[in-house]
Amino acid sequence: MKRFLELLRSVRRNRSESRESERAGCERRVRTDGGTTEKRSTLRRWLDSDIVQSSPFWLPPFLLMGFFVYAAIGWNLLLSLTEYSGFGDPDYSNLSLQNYWAMLDDPGMWAATRNTLVLLVGFTVVCLIVGLLLALLLDREIRFSRSFRTIYLLPFALSFIVTAQFWRWMYNVQNGIVNQFIGLFGLGPYNWLGSPRLVLGSVIFALVWQFSGYTMIIYLAALRSIPNDQYEAARVDGASTLRMYWRVIVPQLRPATVSASVVLVLFALKAFDFLYATFDGYRPRRGADILATKMVRESFGRSEWAYGSSIALMLFALSLAVIAPYLYNQYKRGNL
């Protein structure tokens, strides 16, 4: 940091010096040699251009981020084309798509992909609905609305690792509250996290608990930006409350829904942390394996680095499929 600041300072000093000498030099040269003046002033103009002037601000963070994010993805792509499995250095001279073919023959891969998609869609949709309902409840003239909002958002401040502890206990077969609660209605007990049929739904439910507050906040901000007279107009027209919401309010929430979905999909892709803490490692129960857990298991568990990298690239492609249209859309609307 300090070195960078020094660099910045020296660059500025050089620039102002050169600018002064140029100014002095220019005047002299205008009379004698026109060609050099032109060349000089191009350089000067370039140095004074906004791209150069602003580069000390954005270039260092860009290089740092670019190296760790984009160069790393490129490296990951390269690794996925090798046969690297943990011994010595990867052999980059012999690249092939074999890992990608191997994926097609891997039954675990299909299960993980299916589970990932179920998790992504189920979690995102349920979170959006719950968050919207919470926001609609809170977006009224009520007392303590700030406190309610704070409490509903509280789980979002906790880490996956922490919330996983709470939900392991909630889902516990003997002592879990979930089983005790449904026991009141004569149901259960179920082994929520142990049964292949229930485990994914249980994970989604816990994640909705953690993230619906986030969706609520996004929707609340959107609801509050809707001008008040629209509510009034609908009311004067004699529309019922439900109809008013459906026709007037919900359509205006589309941008909020889109941006919340993008972020939720991302959190769902990160659900690895939650599964790791719930199942004490990257080997979740059958029925809960997702691409993220499989990727870490292949790489760090079985040292199949190249294969793990190819799964990582699948994950990246998945998130790209969600965000690329989103970013393009934002760009078109001038929101970027």
Partner 1 sequence: MSEQSVTTEQATPTEHETSEISIGQIGLYATLIGLIGFYLIPIESGLVTSIKTSTALQETFPFLPPFSASGITFEKWQVAFDYLAPGMVNSMLFTIPSTILCAIFGSMAAYGLTLVNWRGQIAVLALFIAGIFVPYQAVIVPLFQFWSQYMQLGARLSFLWGLPLLEPHYATILELIITHTAYGIPIVTLLFRSQYKTMSDEMIEAARLDGASVWRVYRRIVLPLSIPMFAVVFIFQFTQIWNEFLFSLTIIGSVNDPAASATLILSGLGQSLEGTDYPLRMAGAFITALPTLLVYVLFADKFAEGVQT
Residue 239 makes contact with partner 1 by CB under 8 A: no
Q: Are 22 and 44 contacting, i.e. CB atoms less than 8 angstroms apart?
A: yes
Contacting residue, 17, 39, 62, 325, with partner 1 by CB under 8 A: 62
SS3 of residue 210 by DSSP: helix
- Choice from 7, 24, 69, 121 touching partner 1 (CB under 8 A): 69
Residues 6+ apart with CB under 8 A from 187: none
Site for partner 1 in 141-160 (CB under 8 A): 141-142, 146, 148-160
Question: Is residue 284 near partner 1 by the rule CB under 8 A?
Answer: no
Interface pick for partner 1 out of 98, 180, 191, 195 (rule CB under 8 A): 180
- Which tokens hold the place of 79? 């690794």
Judged by CB under 8 A, does residue 264 bind partner 1? no
Q: In sequence order, what are the residues at sequence separation of 6 or more whose Cβ sits closer than 8 angstroms to the Cβ of residue 29?
A: 36, 37, 40
Is 322 a residue that touches partner 1 (CB under 8 A)? yes
Residue placing its CB nearer to partner 1 in the complex, 26 or 29: 26
- Phi and psi (nearest 5°) for 193? -90, -5
Assess 255 for contact with partner 1 (CB under 8 A): no
> Total residues at the site for partner 1 (CB under 8 A)?
102
The reply on whether position 169 binds partner 1 by CB under 8 A is yes
Q: Is 306 in contact with 90 (CB distance < 8 Å)?
A: yes
64-79 as b/e: b if 16+ CB within 10 A: eeeeeeeeeeeeeeeb
190 binds partner 1 (CB under 8 A): no
Rounded Cα distance between 204 and 123, Å, is: 6
Query: According to the binding rule CB under 8 A, does residue 258 interact with partner 1?
Result: no
Cβ atoms of 91 and 324 within 8 Å: the answer is no
Q: What residue ranges in the chain does DSSP mark as E strands?
A: none
Determine the residue type at 219: Y
Question: Least separation, in Å, of the C-beta of 36 and partner 1?
Answer: 26
Kindly state whether residue 24 participates in binding partner 1, applying the rule CB under 8 A. Answer: no
Nearest to 174 by CA among 155, 194, 160: 194
3/54 Cα distance (integer angstroms)? 18
Instruction: With contacts defined by CB under 8 A, name the span among 32-40, 59-67, 117-125, 192-200 that binds partner 1.
Output: 59-67
Query: Does residue 18 belong to the site contacting partner 1 (CB under 8 A)?
Result: no
Q: Minimum Å distance from CB 25 to partner 1?
A: 21
Among 109, 135, 244, 313, binds partner 1 (CB under 8 A): 313
Q: Contact region for partner 1 (CB under 8 A) — 39-47, 119-127, 210-218, 247-255?
A: 210-218
